[in-house]
């Protein structure tokens, strides 16, 4: 079906060609993006899981009051404060503040690290381990790592476009996916791989199309800037149109006490009819102070949530964001649909499982490239160079990246709390482990490297919940007893994925390809080297 | 109520899946007649379409259709895994053991 024969230039052949090569060349990046994005659906959960010493927030308003107390003593004359509204889903109230820009002093960037804090469930500054938590997976999903953000976004944006190409051409190429909707031929070599690839693609097809298209929408201003350029001569005006703000007020220099944030937020929540998500205070302690409260993005589909601005001294409402225009609502809804922040637990699980299916679809597609070509190799013992590159890159990425993630999670548990640059070293641990896995993949035969890497990943993942119970105060039994399903589910999921990786390792290690009699008529000898991929 | 949406989707896809010759034979012991297949597929569509207004009622006009789409995907996946991984009632005489 999928021949590279350029003599047969039918529509399906051209689509098969497009599907094969758009999928292969960008497939490795897509796998990383899919896996990181899938984990990022539990971004809030990971933010909490990676700070296990923190208690769950039970009284958000008490934490908010603690945040205000802390900021008033720490940064009383800051230019602005930013507070994420604490809830049972957050590790606490995450704060950061911008110091006043002094005259004659250049504006510094990147000073954010010294100007941030976390307020715990008891309202006092929390002394938690330094970690990027779930934010790492969220940023890596589109910013990658160790490279300028703009390059990464172009790379991910291009890969996403190819993903859209691959999905649409795949619908044509795998023409039987709807007729064979319920078919899974097991232990049948290439047929099984094809069925698995098709099943993960077609079962979650609405998700794949949605996530790819809306993913492009999140990057649209970068990928296709012309609509903005043609309609807005001034960059500030498009910003105002998209993110309208209350009229800015000049700092007066007269001191005036800031209103109680709890009362302001309570009023905002009453007006929204929904929880608050984010609070920004400009010129705190000044007579011109302003408090802006945004509605939580968990409460509505659109990612562009309404905002209210209050006078910071009297606590009087002075501005409300206007109803957004049609285009802004469309973009907001698409981005909201992509990020899934609106989704409750049940729907979030569906998002997550769809992401798992997408990762499996990309991985099985990459493996399928080698499975299909292996049978046609003139000499299976000595495959051509390109084949070996793809085969080993598959091991390095599909088995190596999950191993890196397992190491990041272990680094989160094991690195000493007082270590300098601890949060960065957690991330370095991922890439060091991944690089080591990559070397193993390049140096060893895939037949040995697949089970070795998957085996280690499985053992590492499955051991984390055990470690949590044995070596920390919390863990699965404690979380279950406290009804903290968010963290309990993460431990259970890690155990399940550990088991799954272990199963793959065992199956690949045990796999012995059978000499297929039906192929015996071929001049090509039956594969002398084992087929290196797992049977299903 | 959300569970009911999912159950309807599972029912719909179970009918679709069992209407295919291989699965019908494996699970119900005989090949389906053309009329029977047609009826099962019609009933499957009925269950799926019926789940939509229910999802709408449960989660509203915005999240409802999203919930319905998600439930169809999850329902299809559950049926797919069940039909293929759980040993059937009867062995398929043509394909030998599984």
Residue A483: which residues within 8 A CB-CB, separation 6 or more?
none
Contact assignment for A199 to B20 by CB distance below 8 Å: no
Query: pLDDT for A154-195, tens place per residue?
Result: 999 999 999 999 999 999 888 888 888 888 888 888 899 999
Give me the phi and psi of A325, to 5 degrees please. -75, 175
Query: pLDDT for B22-60, tens place per residue?
Result: 899 888 888 899 999 999 999 999 999 999 999 999 999
As a whole number of angstroms, the distance between CA A281 and CA A258 comes to 9
* Per-residue confidence (pLDDT) for residue A106, from 0 to 100: 61
CA neighbor of A387 nearest in space, from A370, A364, A400: A370
Among A183, A203, A342, beta carbon nearest to B77:
A203
Residue with tokens 């390809």: A513
Residue with tokens 């039906």: A518
Taking residues A236-246, what's their average pLDDT? 80
CA distance B9 to chain A (A): 13
Q: Decide: helix, strand or coil at residue A275.
A: coil
CA distance A80 to chain B (A): 35
Q: Strands A290-295 and A276-282: what pairing? A: antiparallel
- With contact defined as beta carbons under 8 Å apart, do B98 and B87 qualify? yes
Residue with tokens 């968010």: A486
CA neighbor of A479 nearest in space, from A467, A493, A489, A470: A489
Interface of A with B in 207-266 (CB under 8 A): 207
CA neighbor of A83 nearest in space, from A240, A284, A267, A257: A284
Sort out which chain A residues have CB atoms less than 8 A from B72's CB and list them: 206
pLDDT of residue A125 exceeding 80, the answer is yes
Residue B35: which residues within 8 A CB-CB, separation 6 or more?
none
Query: pLDDT for A325-341, tens place per residue?
Result: 888 899 999 999 999 99
As a whole number of angstroms, the distance between CA A43 and CA A89 comes to 10
Query: pLDDT for A435-475, tens place per residue?
Result: 999 999 999 999 999 999 999 999 999 999 999 999 988 89
- With contact defined as beta carbons under 8 Å apart, do A87 and A47 qualify? no
- In chain B, the number of structural domains is 1
Residue A439: which residues within 8 A CB-CB, separation 6 or more?
none
Tell me, yes or no, if A184 comes closer than 8 A to chain B by beta carbon. Answer: yes
Taking residues B93-98, what's their average pLDDT? 45
Kindly report which listed range (A227-231, A276-280, B4-8) carries the lowest average pLDDT score: A227-231
Confidence of residue A108 (pLDDT cuts 50, 70, 90): low
Instruction: Quickly count helices (H) and strands (E) in chain B.
Output: 3, 0
A346: exposed, middle or buried (C-beta count within 10 Å: 0-12, 13-18, 19+)? Answer: middle
Please give the C-alpha separations between residue A521 and each of A76, A516, B57, in angstroms, as whole numbers.
Answer: 83, 10, 61
* Per-residue confidence (pLDDT) for residue A3, from 0 to 100: 46
Q: What's the pTM?
A: 0.91
* Per-residue confidence (pLDDT) for residue A524, from 0 to 100: 45
Tell me, yes or no, if A199 comes closer than 8 A to chain B by beta carbon. Answer: yes
Query: pLDDT for A279-324, tens place per residue?
Result: 999 999 999 999 999 999 999 999 989 999 999 999 999 999 998 8
Instruction: Quickly count helices (H) and strands (E) in chain A.
Output: 19, 7
Sort out which chain A residues have CB atoms less than 8 A from B73's CB and list them: 203-204, 206-207, 350, 354
Specify the higher pLDDT residue, B23 or B88.
B23
Please give the C-alpha separations between residue B31 and each of A319, B87, B92, in angstroms, as whole numbers.
Answer: 69, 18, 11
As a whole number of angstroms, the distance between CA B41 and CA B44 comes to 5
Percent of chain A residues past pLDDT 90, beyond the cut = 72
Please give the C-alpha separations between residue A515 and each of A510, A512, A520, in angstroms, as whole numbers.
Answer: 16, 9, 8
Q: What is the mean pLDDT of chain A?
A: 89
- Of all residues in chain A, the one with the smallest CA distance to B63 is A301
Q: Range of B55's domain? A: 2-85
As a whole number of angstroms, the distance between CA A268 and CA A282 comes to 17
Secondary structure string (H, E, C) spanning A217-250? HHCHHHHCCHHHHHHCCCHHHHHHHHCCCCCCCC
Residue A145: which residues within 8 A CB-CB, separation 6 or more?
A139, A152, A427, A431
Q: Strands A116-119 and A307-311: what pairing? A: unpaired
Give me the phi and psi of A185, to 5 degrees please. -90, 115
B97 lies in some domain: no
B93 lies in some domain: no
Tell me, yes or no, if A354 comes closer than 8 A to chain B by beta carbon. Answer: yes
As a whole number of angstroms, the distance between CA B86 and CA A197 comes to 20
* Per-residue confidence (pLDDT) for residue A529, from 0 to 100: 44
Instruction: Break chain A into its structural domains and give their ranges.
Output: 1-53+129-244+325-374, 60-125+245-321, 386-536
């Amino acid at each position: 079906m999928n021949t590279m024969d350029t003599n047969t230039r039918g529509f399906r052949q051209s689509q098969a060609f497009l599907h094969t090569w758009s999928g292969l060349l960008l497939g490795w990046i897509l796998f990383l993006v899919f896996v990181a994005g899938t984990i990022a659906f539990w971004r809030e959960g990971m933010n909490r899981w990676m700070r296990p010493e923190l208690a769950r927030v039970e009284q958000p308003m008490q934490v908010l009051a603690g945040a205000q107390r802390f900021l008033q003593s720490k940064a009383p004359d800051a230019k602005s404060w930013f507070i994420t509204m604490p809830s049972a889903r957050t590790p606490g109230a995450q704060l950061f503040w911008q110091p006043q820009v002094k005259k004659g002093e250049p504006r510094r960037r990147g000073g954010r690290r010294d100007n941030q804090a976390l307020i715990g469930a008891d309202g006092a500054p929390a002394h938690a381990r330094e970690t990027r938590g779930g934010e790492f997976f969220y940023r890596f999903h589109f910013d990658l790592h160790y490279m300028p953000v703009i390059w990464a976004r172009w790379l991910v944006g291009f890969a996403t476009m190819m993903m859209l190409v691959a999905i649409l051409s795949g619908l044509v190429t795998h023409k039987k996916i709807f007729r064979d909707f319920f078919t899974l031929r097991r232990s049948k070599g290439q047929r099984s791989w094809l069925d698995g690839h098709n099943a993960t693609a077609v079962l979650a097809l609405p998700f794949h199309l949605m996530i790819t298209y809306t993913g492009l929408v999140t990057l649209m201003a970068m990928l296709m800037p012309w609509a903005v350029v043609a309609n807005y001569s001034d960059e500030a005006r498009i910003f105002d149109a998209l993110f309208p703000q209350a009229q800015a007020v000049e700092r007066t220099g007269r001191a005036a006490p800031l209103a109680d944030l709890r009362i302001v937020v309570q009023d905002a929540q009453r007006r929204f009819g929904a929880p608050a998500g984010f609070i920004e205070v400009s010129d705190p302690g000044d007579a011109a102070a302003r408090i802006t409260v945004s509605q939580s993005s968990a409460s509505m589909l659109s990612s562009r949530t309404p905002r209210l601005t209050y006078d910071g001294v009297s606590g009087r409402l002075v501005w409300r964001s206007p109803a957004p225009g049609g285009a802004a609502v469309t973009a907001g809804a698409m981005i909201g649909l992509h990020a899934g922040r609106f989704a409750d637990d049940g729907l979030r699980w569906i998002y997550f499982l769809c992401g798992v299916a997408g990762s499996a679809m990309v991985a099985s597609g990459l493996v399928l490239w080698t499975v299909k070509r292996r049978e046609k190799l003139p000499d299976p013992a000595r495959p051509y160079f390109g084949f070996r590159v793809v085969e080993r890159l598959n091991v390095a990425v599909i088995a190596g990246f999950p191993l890196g993630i397992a190491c990041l999670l272990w680094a989160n548990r094991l690195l000493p709390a007082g270590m300098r640059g601890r949060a960065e070293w957690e991330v370095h641990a991922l890439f060091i482990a991944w690089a080591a896995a990559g070397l193993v993949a390049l140096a060893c035969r895939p037949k040995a490297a697949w089970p070795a890497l998957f085996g280690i990943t499985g053992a590492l993942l499955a051991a984390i919940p055990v470690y949590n119970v044995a070596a920390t105060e919390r863990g699965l039994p404690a979380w279950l007893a406290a009804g903290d399903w968010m963290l309990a589910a993460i431990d259970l999921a890690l155990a399940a994925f550990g088991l799954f990786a272990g199963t793959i390792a065992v199956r690949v290690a045990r796999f012995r390809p059978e000499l297929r009699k039906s192929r015996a008529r071929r001049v090509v000898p039956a594969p002398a080297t084992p087929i290196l991929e797992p049977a299903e | 109520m959300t569970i009911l949406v999912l159950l309807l989707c599972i029912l719909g896809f179970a009918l679709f899946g069992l209407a295919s010759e291989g699965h019908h034979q494996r699970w119900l012991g005989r090949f389906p007649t053309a009329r029977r297949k047609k009826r099962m597929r019609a009933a499957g569509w009925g269950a799926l379409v019926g789940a939509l207004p229910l999802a709408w009622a449960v989660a509203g006009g915005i999240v409802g259709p999203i919930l319905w789409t998600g439930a169809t995907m999850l329902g299809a996946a559950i049926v797919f895994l069940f039909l293929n991984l759980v040993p059937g009632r009867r062995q398929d005489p043509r394909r030998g053991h599984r």
